[in-house]
Structures are given as structure tokens and as C-alpha cells.
Structure 1
Amino acid sequence: MPNAFNQGIIDEFRANKGRLTGHFENARLLLLTTAGARTGTRHTTPVGYLPDGGDRVLIIASAGGSPRHPDWYRNLLADPQVTVESGSFTYEARAVVLAGEERERAWARAVETDPGWAAYQEKTTRLIPVVALSAIPQGGPPNVNASSLSEGMKVVHDAFRRELALIRQEMRNGNGSTLGVQLRVNCLTFCQGLHNHHTGEDTMLFPHIGAQHPSAEPTLERLREEHERIAVLVAELQRAVSADATDPAAARAEVERLTLDLEAHLTYEEKELLPLLDSAAS
């Protein structure tokens, strides 16, 4: 059973689809559920994470610099299959403890983003582990934390809005002369996720809606065209953050351009499609 502090975070996280208030409002957190190493009892813990591209995220077993590894880390050593709740999605993942140069590169990115990780390492003689969580492929659509298609669309859209807001804030908080390695990864991970989402809409959701509501075809065609325009902006952002000599000002400008177009697109899509999805469910 989580302690009262963690349970409060878990309850708020689940109730608000990953959105938190107070100290953790601008933090990247997920809920990690592991099987107890001795009992097999499942335990859920809020854990900070770093995007790592694609379907992989990194978590760090700091335990605040404690001399002992956290319980969740000992659990996943015994059973590396874990459950991850991102707020918008719940999925099974496989945990792999990073070692050697791969661990050092990931650790350097984490410390560059938040020097607090280095402070934790200074407090303990153990080498703080970095763990990669890779989603286990499953058949069919992803498991969205929603009770209907319309709620699912809003949950996913809000997750993109929140991640883009975090990236914009991280760019504003930068030193102005360089773009951090982890911030580049955050941008590229966001771009890939948005591409995957729009591909799924184009190939699965929109044909489903079109078959149910033929009169919506002009709306769907406009949304497809907006997907193409947003794809161009995503490609520009990818180029801006992947360049050998990244210009932070240019990257910020691309993020702002993408933000304006994406918010307009998401708002229009919700206005036009949520009522259709609700009517199909009634």
C-alpha cells in the first residue's frame, strides 16, 4: 500500500488523466506498477521520467539519494514486466537497467535537465540506476484511459497540449545559447508521437466516422489537409533541433509555430467530431 503522500498523487493523477497540481504541476510523472519481489503483490508508485524517443521512457532509481535502492527497483529486477500509466494511456512494458556508456549518456542528459539528480548521487555511494521502460507491442489500438471514444480523443489531445506546454517552458528556462540534449529528445519524441496519432486518425478513426456519418466527409477532408500542414511544421521542428549547431531561437520559433497551428487544429477537431462520437455511443 503506498504511503499517504504517494497515494494522494496516485489518486489525483488518475482522476485528472495525468494532470497534477502544486509542486508536481510541471513535472513529468508516470505511475509504475511492479510485482513485489517476495510476495508478488502489485505495488504502484509515482515516478519521474524522461522521454527517450519512440515507445521508450527512462526512470531513475534515486530514492532521494538513499543508500538503498527503492522498492520498485528491486521489484523490477525480480520481474521486469511492469505496468505503466502515462495519464492518457495504460500499457505493459519491459524494464531494462542501462549499463556502461548507454547509462552514462542517459544520466548526463538527466543531470543536464535537473542538477538535482547529481545531488542525489553525491549523497550515496551506490551508483543510481537508470532504467528504460519499453512498451510491449500489443494488437489493436492503444489502451486509452477513457470510457468512450469522445473522451479518449479529448484525453489524448490534452496530453499533447500539456507536453507541448512543458517543452515551451523548458525552452524558456534554457540558458539561451544552447539547446540541451534532453530537450532535443523531448521535441523529437513529441514529434514522433504526434505523427503516430495523426496516422492513426487518418487510417482508422476518420474512415470509421466517415462510414457512420457520410455528411462529415468535408470536415474529415479538412482535418486530413491540416494533418499534412502540421506534418510540415513537425518536420521543420525536427530539423531545427537535429542540426549540428542548433539555434535555440530558431527551435523556439518552430515550437511556437507548431503550437498555434496544432491548438487550432485540435480545437476544430473536438468541436466537429466529439458530437459525432458521442452520438455514435448513445
Structure 2
Amino acid sequence: MPNDFNQPVIDEFRANRGRMSGYFEGARLLLLTTTGARTGTPHTTPVGYLPDGDRILVIASAAGSDRHPDWFHNLVAHPQVTVESGVFTYEARAEVLTGEERDRLFARAVEADPGWATYQEKTDRVIPVVALHSLAQGGPGTIDATSFGEAIKVVHDAFRHELSLIRAEFTTGPNPTTLGAQLRVNCLTFCQGLHNHHTGEDTVLFPLITERHPAAIPALTRLREEHKRIAELVEELRETLASTGEAAVIRAEVERLTAALEAHLAYEEEELMPLFVAAG
């Protein structure tokens, strides 16, 4: 039976590919589908997450309740889960973290949002931190789109959205004058995803377009050069993150990357989307 609170959130999430309004506007949110520990039936729950390299982290806070949430009991019994990010849908393996790793990552979550600490203070139970490892082969999962052109736009919009979240953390985070560990990881996770996307375009998509649409070669040449420039900006951001915690310095690097990437995505859509539309 649908949960009276969760179902409208799930419906809005799916209708808007993860973009939320109201209370959840600007939040990192995903849909987690688990298998019922007792019933064996699927249950979908909206949960907040933190990016962490090749995995994502979810926290079983239950708003500070003295009981673990049902979805946590479900994934302990059945560790294979389904994740919907708003862009991709994929199967994942859930791993309950323990000891020092759990404590370190929970502290990072608190740095990102002090509300997690408030929840922990309300209960004697140790709030679990769960890592979700993608099981998708050969890519991040199934893109939630009905055409190739739409898929490209959806992925681009996901990069735009993630950059907007990273930028917002400089000014709306709990301590905007310093750069917390969560911001470092978020930036580097984003950069790795961007690298993977551009590599896929350079090695698969662009050669295919070259073969079918030779007139697009000048645009593809420019896009490849922009990939190189963006990679340079990413590396400069990595070096800055490794060498300083000064928010102003890091903000400048993020803004440079943002400007270059937004211009690149706009140009790519302007040049390539008509080809996808013409091809059906």
C-alpha cells in the first residue's frame, strides 16, 4: 500500500527526473526500492544520499526514531536494491558500514547537514550508514529517456544540476567560510562522472556521428577540443582541492569550470540535437 507521505514525493521525483519542489527543493534525493524482509514485495522509498566516488551513501536516520526504518531491515535481508537517480535506474548492492568507516562517513554527513547529528541525538541507536554499489555493467545504468537525443539532454541536465548543488554549498552550507570534506568528495565525484561521459562521447558517440553526418565534423572537432580544456580545468580543480581549504580560491576554480561546461553543453545541444531529431 502506498505511503501517504512518500507517494507524492515519488510521483513528483519520477515526473521531473529527480527535480523536486517545496521541502525537497535542491536536495540530493533518490528513490530506493528494496525487497520486503517479511513479504518479499518491492517497496520504494525516497531517501537522501551523499556521493562517494563510485558508490553512494544513504543514512537510515528515520528522523531520529528509536527504530531503524523498514527499508533498512529490507536491505539487510535482501542486499540487492534498485536505485533511481532521476537520470539512471540501476541495480545496486547494499553494504552496511561499520566501525571507523561508518563513524567517519557519518561525520562527513553531519558536516554537510547538521540535521543528521540532531537525529542521532534523539536516539540511543547508532544510525546506520549504507553504501550502495552499482551492479550495472558497461555504464551507470539505464537512462530514463525515450530517445537518444532526450538521453543526452537528460545527462547534460544532471551535470548542470549537480554543479548547481556544489556551488550552493559554498554559500548555504553550515560553514560557508570553509570547504568541508563532503564538498571535496562531491566535486571529485562529479569530475569523474564528467570524465567518463566525455570519454564515451569521444570513443563511441562522435565516431558514429562522423560516419553518418560528415558535415558535423567541424562541430565535433570543436567539442573534442573543449573536452580537453574541461579536463584541464578539472585537473586544476583537483589540485586546488588537494592544496587548499580556502573557499574563495576553490569557488573561483568551480566557477571557471562551470562557465566552460555550461557553454560546452549548450553548444553540443545546439549542434547535435537536430541530428538526433532528424534521425528519429
Give the alignment's TM-score, normalised by structure 2.
Answer: 0.97
Where structure 1 has 5 or more consecutive residues not aligned to the other structure, the ranges are: none
Task: Tell me how far apart the structure 2 counterparts of residues 142 and 47 of structure 1 sit (CA, whole Å).
Answer: 19
Say if 1:2 and 1:45, in contact at 8 Å, map to a contact too.
Answer: no
RMSD: 1.2
SS at 1:76's partner residue?
helix
Secondary structure (helix, strand or coil) at the match of 2:143 reads coil
Match for residue 41 of structure 1?
A: 41
Contact 1:176 1:248 in 2 (8 A): yes
Instruction: Please state if 1:212 is matched with 2:212.
Output: yes
TM-score (ref. length: structure 1) = 0.96
Whether 1:143 aligns to 2:131 is no
Aligned-pair CA distance for 1:204: 1.0
Give the structure 2 partner of residue 59 of structure 1: 58
Structure 1 partner of 2:272: 273
The aligned counterpart of 1:157 is 156
Q: For 1:223-279, what per-residue CA distance to the aligned partner results, in whole angstroms no more than 9, with x for missing partners?
A: 000000010111111111122x42211110000001111000000100111111111
Alignment of 1:65-144 (within 5 A): 65-139=64-138, 142-144=141-143
Write the distance in 2 (CA, Å) between the matches of 1:247 and 1:100. 31
CA deviations over 1:44-69 (Å, ceiling 9, x no partner): 10000001112x00000000011111
Task: Give CA-to-partner distance per residue, 1:96-149, whole Å, 9 cap, x none.
Answer: 000011001101101111111111111111110000001014146731100001
Residues in 1 aligned to 2:148 and 2:210: alpha-carbon distance in whole angstroms: 15
Q: Does residue 13 in structure 1 map to residue 13 in structure 2?
A: yes
Q: Which residue of 2 aligns with 1:2?
A: 2
Q: Aligned residues, how many?
A: 279
The question of whether the paired residues in 2 share the 8 Å contact of 1:176 and 1:249 is answered with no
> CA distance change for structure 1 residues 178 and 141 in 2, over 3 Å: closer, same or farther?
closer
CA shift, 1:280, in A, is 1.5
Residue in structure 2 matched with residue 170 of structure 1 by the alignment? 169
Aligned letter for 2:218?
P
Please state whether the residue corresponding to 1:128 is helix, strand or coil.
coil
SS in 2 for 1:238: helix
Aligned residue runs from structure 1 range 239-258, under 5 A: 239-243=239-243, 245-258=244-257
Contact 2:81 2:92 in 1 (8 A): yes
Q: 2: CA distance between counterparts of 1:49 and 1:140?
A: 20
Corresponding residue number in structure 1 for 2:193: 193
Contact 1:109 1:182 in 2 (8 A): yes
1:4 alignment partner, SS class: coil
CA distance in 2, matches of 1:4, 1:272: 44
Unpaired segments of 5 or more residues in structure 2? none
1:240–1:247 contact (8 Å) kept in structure 2: no
**Deviations along 1:4-63, whole A, 9 cap, x unmatched?**
221111111111111111111110000000011111100110000001112x00000000
**Alignment partners' CA distance in 2, 1:167 and 1:151:** 24
1:162-212 deviations in Å (ceiling 9; x for gaps): 100010010123535421001111111111111111111111111111111
Bigger mean CA offset, 110-119 vs 140-149:
140-149
